[in-house]
Amino acid sequence: MSMVNKDKPLNFTFDGKAYQGFDGDTLASALLRNKVKVVGRSFKYHRPRGIMAAGTEEPNALVEIHGAGVCEPNRRATTIKLFEGLTAKSQNRTPSLAFDIYAFTDFLSPFLSAGFYYKTFMWPKAFWEKIYEPAIRRAAGLGKLIEQPDPDNYDKGFLHCDVLVIGGGPAGLLAALNAGRSGKRVILANDDFILGGRLLSDPIEIDNLTALQWVEKSVAELRSMDNVRILERTSVYGAFDHGIFGALETKTDQIGAPGARMVLWKIFAQHSILAAGATERPIAFANNDRPGIMLASAIRTYQNRFDVKCSDKTALLFNNNNALSTISDVQIDTRMGLHVTDTKGRKGLRSIQLSDGREIQTDCLAMSGGWNPNVHLTCHQRSRPVWNEAKACFVPNTDTLPDGMQVIGAANGEFTMPVVFDSVRRASEALGVNTDDHPNTQAAPYEVSAFWHVKGKKRAWVDFQNDVTAKDITLAHQEGFSSVEHVKRYTTLGMATDQGRTSNVTGLAILAEATQQSIAETGTTMFRPPYTPVPIGAFAGPHKEQHFKPTRLTPSHKYAAEIGATFVETGYWKRAQWLVRGDEKGWRDSVDREVITTRGSVGICDVSTLGKIDIQGRDAGAFLNKVYVNSFKLLKPGKCRYGLMLREDGIAKDDGTSARFSETHYVMTTTTANAVSVYRHLEFARQCLFPDMDVHLISTTEQWAQYSVAGPNARKLLEKIIDPEHDISNEAFPYMACGKVTVCGGTRARLFRLSFSGELAYEIAVPTRYGDALIRKLMEAGDEFNACIYGTEALGVMRIEKGHAAGNELNGTTTASHLGLGGFVSKKKDCIGKVLSQREGLVTEDSVRLVGFVAVNPTDKITNGAHFINDGAERTAVNDQGHMSSVAWSPELGHYIGLGFLKGGQNRKGEELWAVDFVRDNHIKVRVVSPHFVDPDGERLRV
Amino acid sequence: MRYNALQILRQGLTGHKGWKPAWRKAEPKPEYDIIIVGGGGHGLATAYYLANKFDQKRIAVVEKGWIGGGNVGRNTTIIRSNYMLHENEGFYEFSLKLWEGQEQDFNYNSMVSQRGVINLYHSDSQRDAFVRRGNAMALNGADPVLLDQAGLRKICPFLNFDNTRFPIQGGLLQPRGGTVRHDAVAWGYARGADQKGVDIIENCEVTGFIIEQGVCKGVETSRGTIKARKVGVAVAGSSSKVMALAGMRLPMESHVLQAFVSEGLKPVLPGVITYGAGHFYVSQSDKGGLVFGGDIDGYNSYAQRGNLPVVEDVCEGGVSIMPMIGKARVLRMWGGIMDMSMDGSPIIDKTHIDGLYFNGGWCYGGFKATPASGYCFAQLITTNTPHDTAKHYRMDRFTRGYMIDEKGQGAQPNMH
Amino acid sequence: MIINHPLLGPRDASEFVYLGDAKLMNRPNPKSETALQDFHDYMYLRDNPAGEHKELWFHEQGDRSWLIVTRNTISHEITHVELARPSA
For chain C, which residues make up each domain, given as ranges?
A: 2-27+39-83
* Contact C14/A at CB under 8 A: no
Which of C19, C48, C61, C68 would you mutate first to test chain B, the one with the most B CBs within 10 A? C48
pLDDT score recorded for residue A678? 98
Distance CA(A197)–CA(A202), nearest Å, equals 9
- Say if the Cβ atoms of B301 and C18 lie within 8 Å: no
pLDDT of residue A690: 98
- Kindly give, in sequence order, each residue whose CB lies less than 8 Å from that of residue A134, ignoring residues fewer than 6 positions away: B267
User: CA A344 to CA A357: how far, in whole Å?
Assistant: 14
For the segment A813-831, the average pLDDT, to the nearest whole number, is 96
CA distances from A418 to A169, A170, B91, B375 (A): 14, 11, 65, 63
A535 and B266 within 8 Å at the Cβ level: the answer is: no
A694 touches chain C (CB under 8 A): no
> Sorting pLDDT into bands at 50, 70 and 90, what band is A39?
very high
Query: pLDDT, tens digit, for every residue of B321-366?
Result: 999 999 999 999 999 999 999 999 999 999 999 999 999 999 988 9
DSSP B206: E
Is the distance from CB of A659 to CB of A646 less than 8 angstroms? no
Q: Which pLDDT band holds residue A524 (cuts at 50, 70, 90)?
A: confident
The answer to whether C2 and A242 are in contact (CB under 8 A) is yes
Burial A489-501 (b: 16+ CB within 10 A, else e): bbbbbbbbbbbbb
Give the nearest chain B residue to C70 (CA atoms). Answer: B300
Residue B121: its pLDDT value, please? Answer: 98
**Interface confidence (ipTM) of the complex:** 0.99
Is C56–A688 a contact, with Cβ atoms under 8 angstroms apart? yes
pLDDT tens-digit map of A413-433: 999 999 999 999 999 999 999
What is the greatest pairwise CA distance in chain B? Answer: 67
**pLDDT of A338-380, one tens digit each?**
999 999 999 999 999 999 999 999 999 999 999 999 999 999 9
Does any CB of chain C come closer than 8 Å to the CB of residue A688? yes
Per-residue confidence (pLDDT) for residue A923, from 0 to 100: 98
How far is it, in rounded angstroms, from Cα A591 to Cα A797?
8
Q: Which CATH superfamily is domain A461-517 in?
A: BFD-like [2Fe-2S]-binding domain (1.10.10.1100)
Quick check: A638 pLDDT over 60?
yes
**Predicted confidence band at A126 (pLDDT cuts at 50, 70, 90)?**
confident
What confidence tens digit (pLDDT) does each residue in B113-165 have?
A: 999 999 999 999 999 999 999 999 999 999 999 999 999 999 999 999 989 99
A430 CA: distance to closest CA in chain B (Å): 28
Q: In chain C, which residue's Cα lies nearest the Cα of A830? A: C30
The verdict on a CB contact (< 8 Å) between C76 and B303 is yes
Chain C interface includes B303 (CB < 8 A): yes
User: Cβ contacts (< 8 Å) between C78 and chain B: which residues?
Assistant: none
Instruction: Tell me what the mean pLDDT of segment A746-769 comes to.
Output: 97
Return d(Cα B269, Cα B280) in angstroms, integer: 14
Calpha distance B50→A648 (Å, rounded): 41
Q: What is the pLDDT of residues B29-40, one digit of tens each?
A: 999 999 999 999
Q: What is the pLDDT of residues A242-274, one digit of tens each?
A: 999 999 999 999 999 999 999 999 999 999 999
What's residue A125's pLDDT?
87
Question: Do residues A599 and A617 touch, judged by C-beta distance below 8 A?
Answer: no
* Chain C: closest CA distance from residue A771 (Å): 26
- Preceding omega of B267 cis (within 30 degrees of 0): no
Cα–Cα distance, B404 to A365 (Å, whole number):
64
- Cβ distance of B136 and A877 shorter than 8 Å: yes
**Average pLDDT for A804-814:** 96
Rounded to the nearest angstrom, the minimum Cα separation between B176 and chain C is 35
Homologous superfamily, domain A843-943? Aminomethyltransferase beta-barrel domains (2.40.30.110)
Which residues of A fall within a CB distance of 8 Å from B167? 569
| Contacts for A824 with CB less than 8 Å, ≥ 6 apart | A629, A630, A642, A644, A816
C-alpha–C-alpha distance, residues A503 and A52, integer Å: 13
Question: What is the pTM for the complete model shown?
Answer: 0.97
Find the mean pLDDT for residues A738-759.
97
CB atoms within 10 A of CB A276: 30
Tell which CATH architecture fits domain A611-701.
2-Layer Sandwich (3.30)
Q: What is the pLDDT of residues C19-44, one digit of tens each?
A: 999 999 999 999 999 999 999 999 99
CATH number of the domain located at residue range(s) A1-67+69-145 in this protein: 3.10.20.440
Q: Please state whether the peptide bond connecting residue A124 to the residue before it is cis, i.e. omega within 30 degrees of 0.
A: yes
- The interface residues of chain A toward chain B in range 134-153, judged by CB-CB distance below 8 A, are 134, 136-138, 140-150, 152
Pick the CATH number of A151-280+370-448 from 3.50.50.60, 2.40.420.20, 3.30.465.10, 3.40.50.10740: 3.50.50.60
DSSP code per residue over A339-364: -EEEEE-TTS--EEEETTS-EEE-SE
Query: Counting one residue from B and one from C, how many pairs have CB atoms under 8 Å apart?
Result: 56
Please check the confidence at residue A464 and state whether its pLDDT lies above 60. Answer: yes
Chain A residues inside the 8 Å CB shell of C56:
684, 688
Q: Rounded mean pLDDT of chain B?
A: 97
* C85 vs A contacts (CB less than 8 Å): 686-688, 691
Check whether C88 has a pLDDT greater than 70: no
User: Exposure pattern of A763-778 as b/e (b: 16+ CB <10 Å)?
Assistant: bbbbbbebbbbbbebb
pLDDT at A382: 86
Give CATH for domain C2-27+39-83.
Answer: 3.30.2270.10
Residue C20 with chain B: CB contacts under 8 Å: 253, 300, 412-414
Contact C55/B307, CB-based, under 8 Å?
no
What percent of chain A is predicted at pLDDT more than 70? Answer: 100
Q: Cβ contact (<8 Å) for C13 and B414? A: no
**Partner residue facing A548 (CB), from B12, B16, B164:** B164
Distance (Å) from the alpha carbon of A610 to chain C's nearest alpha carbon = 19
Q: What is the structure's pLDDT at A479?
A: 97
Task: Give φ, ψ of A912 to 5 degrees.
Answer: -110, 135
Residues of chain A neighbouring B112 (CB-CB closer than 8 A) = 128
Q: In a mutagenesis test of the A interface, which of B44, B139, B168, B169 is the best target, namely the one with the most A β-carbons within 10 Å?
A: B139
Class of domain A282-369: alpha beta
Query: Can you tell me the distance from the alpha carbon of A425 to that of A420, in angstroms, rounded to the nearest whole number?
Result: 9
Task: Give the gap in angstroms from C-alpha C33 to the nearest C-alpha of chain B.
Answer: 15
Which residues of chain C have a CB within 8 Å of the CB of B414? 18, 20
The pLDDT tens digits along chain B (416 residues) read 899 999 999 999 999 999 999 999 999 999 999 999 999 999 999 999 999 999 999 999 999 999 999 999 999 999 999 999 999 999 999 999 999 999 999 999 999 999 999 999 999 999 999 999 999 999 999 999 999 999 999 999 999 998 999 999 999 999 999 999 999 999 999 999 999 999 999 999 999 999 999 999 999 999 999 999 999 999 999 999 999 999 999 999 999 999 999 999 999 999 999 999 999 999 999 999 999 999 999 999 999 999 999 999 999 999 999 999 999 999 999 999 999 999 999 999 999 999 999 999 999 889 999 999 999 999 999 999 999 999 999 999 999 999 999 999 999 999 99
> Which chains touch C (3+ CB pairs under 8 A)?
A, B
Q: What 3-state DSSP class applies to A789?
A: strand
Task: Determine contact: A244 vs chain C, CB below 8 A.
Answer: yes
What pLDDT score was predicted for residue A123? 87
The chain-wide mean pLDDT, for chain A, equals 97
Nearest CB partner across the interface for C74, out of B251, B303, B342:
B303
Q: Is the pLDDT reported for residue A147 higher than 60? A: yes
What Rg, from alpha-carbon coordinates, does chain C have? 14
| Delimiting residues of CATH 1.10.10.1100 domain(s) in chain A | 461-517
**Stretch(es) of chain A classified as CATH 3.50.50.60:** 151-280+370-448, 282-369
